[in-house]
Amino acid sequence: MPGTFIEVKVDAATAANPDLARQLRESCPVDIFAQREDGQLRIVEENLDECVLCDLCKKIGPKGAVQVIKLYE
Amino acid sequence: MSILISRDTTFIVQGITGREAVNLVRENLDYGARIVGGVTPGRAGREIYGVPVHDCVRDICQQRGAPDGSVVCVPPRFTRDAVFEAIENGIRLIVIVTENIPRRQVAQMVELAALRGARIIGPNCLGLIAPGEAKMGGIGGPAANTRQAYRKGSIGVMSRSGGMTTEIASTLSAAGLGQSTCISIGGDAIVGSTYAELMPLFEADAQTEAIAIYSEPGGRMEAELAAWVSEQKSRLPVVAFMAGRFMDEMRGMRFGHAGTIVEGVEDTTAQKIRRMEAAGISVAERIEEIPDLLRRRLAERPTEK
Amino acid sequence: MRFYEYESKALFARHGLPTGAGSLAQTAEQARAAAAQIGGPVVVKSQVLSGGRMKAGAVQFADTPEAAARQFEAVWPIRVNGEQPRAVLVEAKSAVAHEFFASVTWDGRRKLPVLLFSDMGGIDIEEVAAQHPAHLSRTHFSTLLPLTERSAKEAVAAVGISGGDLNRLTPIVLRLAQLFLDCDLTLAEINPLAKLADGSFLALDGHVEMEAEARGAQQALLAELGIGEDETRQARPPTDFEREGARLNAADHRGVAGNVVEFDGDLGLVIGAGGGSLTLFDAVRRHGGRPANYCEIGGNPSVRKTRNLTRLILGKPGVGKIAVMMNVVSNTRVDIVARGVILGCLDAGRDPAEAIAIFRIPGSWEEEGFRILEKYGVEFCDRSVSMFEAAGRAVAKLGGAGA
């Protein structure tokens, strides 16, 4: 589910990779990414609208794997 | 020339690895600041945007001699120690960003600075800027925003509110009045440098032709400025904006900064306005009146022979 | 933050300052018992934070326990400046030979603590300063050097006191100064400081204020005195609305979206920062607007924090619209605030375009913020519209809505 202002899409392969998921969790200053018990990525919906557009997450994984979409555009 | 800082000013950032400090370092570097090092105990060897991090101020001073200044962004309970460390290592200009420092500790820092011939700006301030030259502290925010709000010119700005320093500068810039140096002096009841203590520097600065200040209820700083202006027969016209007029009716209630409370008559805006006007300071009710008041006062100056 | 007289005296006693025998009463029976235990004439004093209780008749004398009970009944219902007494202090009445004044406070100009001492105690010290300046001494002391008798002695001697009185007063004044420093006070005052018929000294009344910044460091002391964490100890106690604002602000450490003060108007204010809020509040009133609240946003709060503040303000009965205004921002982000206030409106079941009278926050990330506002149809302006003008638009809009 997207937030009101921000939606984050992560491709399936990246989300399933525990190492990339950890990097995403550590990179986000507003805790949009968490990990499930099996290490897979979980997006924390209630934090989506806190996104500060720092783009740090976009530098992780293959190019285009993580998309930050501004829903107000 | 600006006052206190210039293009050549070197400084360090104490508490450089903190969230706000990291931001401040980037913004200052982008504006052209010469940040020669940073300090966070236990983090020596790291770099923040190319600025080397050290454990002690001494390590930086031993390598290259004492820098001109330090911006202190450490949490309140460590601030006194950080400021003592800067002063005892020979640094002479210290900008304290941290807020919520108990007054006794502020007094101790100020007392030591006076003993050692150092100057403190703040605490609870955004620092200072010489537009087009350098800035030291978070004043103005990102470099692009800073350039939009602050333009080089002849007006000196001093403010107890960091945010209103930028609002005033932005209003002046839009009206075609640039600034020589703008100083966010801090919102606490005791600050390292008051309006009256900074006035002699502006007075001696050839670039500065007039002063704009932001003032508010609480304390004696405006009365001190009024006394200085009339006793020294200052060459600089001063225009003050007075905020918080509603507080005159609300004694004992604190609004805004730590130093902003009306307890006695001397704290009220009405009394401050009276004192300043008696000293020849023009008092504006709206920010947008400041440029015209400055222009009028500048035009009224006796022509120099 | 102010202390009640009984708390001030507990603090004095803890630091070896002489205070009289007394106890608190909240019923006439307790007052009678307290007087009986003291066994002699007593003074019955209302415990309020505001000044002027003597003039209000909230300080009375009684010679017997029965009279003390009657005086309690007389004092208890009296509101001093609208303030209900927390308790009544019943204290032994002393045989006073002379009244002095001793006080320690900060001198913001000299940036040092200053000892004020006078041999004309019991009356308004401002009056002594104006009418009898030779009877009031001001002695500054260092915060770096150890505090020693010298400062206290000079303060007392400066008004012409010598002999045994000087030597008895010096340690009292010294302890008061030490107490001031140790407890992060902004005021430690004994007035009157009485010399009794037997030559000893006693603090008859005390006035202590601690700085809010020191609450953390002085936690143990505040707990010992029974001062609760939610007691703001300002000129008036906080309202429920203000308490909720403080709770929401404290729930998230990122930035500030709080310092809420309740007023009774219809225009909700989501404003910032410290100086900007003062400026904007004045501007709204100058335009004839009636603010429903004061508040401060600063230091880049999270979206959630601004959202909660907005919902709180919109939920206040009588609030028609909100005005979202700040000075040109540097570290607070326009887009983050915009998201917060829009979400707060939606939470409150309001259309942001209708609920937000004006959005005037120029500065950091403004293009991004303005895009968000456009999408929701919220009226906004940049720095070309002054703070004063923006406030005027908000007030006009509320009037137009017929609220």
In the predicted structure, residue A45 carries a pLDDT above the cut 60: yes
- Residue for token digits 């501004």? A70
Widest pairwise Cα distance in chain A? 35
Residues in C touching B103 (Cβ below 8 Å): 106, 184, 186, 211, 213
Give the domain ranges of chain C: 21-92, 96-225, 240-400
Q: What are C329-343's pLDDT values in tens digits?
A: 988 999 999 999 999
Residues in C touching B142 (Cβ below 8 Å): 330, 364
DSSP H helices, C204-355, are: 219-225, 240-250, 274-286, 303-314, 334-347, 352-355
Question: C240-400: CATH homologous superfamily?
Answer: Succinyl-CoA synthetase domains (3.40.50.261)
- Residue B278's region, left for phi above 0, alpha for psi from -120 to 50, else beta, is alpha
* Helix (H) / strand (E) containing B33: none
CA distances from C146 to B181, C65, C78, C210 (A): 38, 47, 45, 21
Q: What integer pLDDT is reported at residue B303 of this predicted model? A: 67
User: So what CATH class is C96-225?
Assistant: alpha beta
CB contact residues (below 8 A), chain C span 312-331, against chain B: 326-331
| Cβ atoms of B199 and B224 closer than 8 Å | no
As a whole number of angstroms, the distance between CA A69 and CA B166 comes to 32
Q: What percent of chain C has pLDDT over 70?
A: 99
- Asked if the C-beta of A37 comes within 8 angstroms of chain C's C-beta atoms, the answer is no
Task: Check A4 against C342: CB less than 8 A apart.
Answer: yes
Q: What integer pLDDT is reported at residue C402 of this predicted model? A: 41
Q: What is the pTM of this model?
A: 0.92
As a whole number of angstroms, the distance between CA C37 and CA B35 comes to 70
ipTM value, please give it: 0.96
Taking only the tens of pLDDT, chain B with its 305 residues reads 899 999 999 999 999 998 789 889 999 999 999 999 999 999 999 999 999 999 999 999 999 999 999 999 999 999 999 999 999 999 999 999 998 899 999 999 999 999 999 999 999 999 999 999 999 999 999 999 999 999 999 999 999 999 999 999 999 999 999 999 999 999 999 999 999 999 999 999 999 999 999 999 999 999 999 999 999 999 999 999 999 999 999 888 888 888 888 888 889 999 999 999 999 999 999 999 999 999 999 999 876 54
Task: Check A72 against C346: CB less than 8 A apart.
Answer: no
Buried b (16+ CB within 10 A) or exposed e, B184-217: bbbbbbbbbbbbbbbbebbbebebbbbbbbbbbb
Task: Check A53 against C368: CB less than 8 A apart.
Answer: yes
CA distances from B212 to B122, B205, C260 (A): 18, 15, 30
| Cβ atoms of C179 and C210 closer than 8 Å | no
Assign C124 a pLDDT band (cuts: 50, 70, 90): confident
DSSP H helices, C15-64, are: 28-38
The CATH number for A6-70, chosen from 3.40.220.10, 3.90.320.10, 3.40.1280.10, 3.30.70.20, is 3.30.70.20
In the predicted structure, residue C403 carries a pLDDT above the cut 50: no
Task: Check A50 against C346: CB less than 8 A apart.
Answer: no
Q: What are C225-284's pLDDT values in tens digits?
A: 999 887 888 777 789 999 999 999 988 888 899 999 999 999 999 999 889 999 999 999
Q: Average per-residue pLDDT in chain C?
A: 94
Q: What integer pLDDT is reported at residue B304 of this predicted model? A: 57
| Cβ atoms of C210 and C188 closer than 8 Å | no
Q: What integer pLDDT is reported at residue B266 of this predicted model? A: 86
* Chain B neighbours, 3+ Cβ pairs < 8 A: C
The secondary structure of residue C285, as a DSSP letter, is H
Question: In the 3-class helix/strand/coil scheme, how is B87-120 assigned residue by residue?
Answer: HHCCCCEEEECCCCCCHHHHHHHHHHHHHHCCEE
CB contact residues (below 8 A), chain C span 172-191, against chain B: 181, 184, 186
Q: What integer pLDDT is reported at residue C77 of this predicted model? A: 96
Partner-chain residue, chosen from B106, B243, B246, that has the shortest CB–CB distance to C285:
B246
**CATH numbers and ranges of domains, chain B:** 10-300 (3.40.50.261)
Q: Which residues of B are catalytic?
A: 257
Long-range contacts of A31-35 (CB under 8 A, 24+ apart): A32/A8, A32/A57, A33/A57
- Asked if the C-beta of A30 comes within 8 angstroms of chain C's C-beta atoms, the answer is yes
Question: Would you state the structure tokens that stand for residue B199, as one six-digit string?
Answer: 């006035």
Domain C21-92 sits in CATH at 3.30.1490.20
Partner-chain residue, chosen from C302, C333, C372, that has the shortest CB–CB distance to A72:
C372
Give the domain ranges of chain A: 6-70
Q: Which residues contact C387 (CB under 8 A, 6 or more apart)?
A: B167, B286, B287, C276, C279, C280, C283, C325, C327, C360
Total length of chain A: 73
* Helix (H) / strand (E) containing C123: none
Q: What integer pLDDT is reported at residue C184 of this predicted model? A: 95
As a whole number of angstroms, the distance between CA A7 and CA B31 comes to 33
Report the candidate in B270, B269, B252, B271 with the shortest Cα–Cα distance to residue B261. B252
Assign C401 a pLDDT band (cuts: 50, 70, 90): very low
The mean pLDDT value for A17-34 works out to 94
Question: Would you state the structure tokens that stand for residue C171, as one six-digit string?
Answer: 């340690």
Assign C287 a pLDDT band (cuts: 50, 70, 90): very high
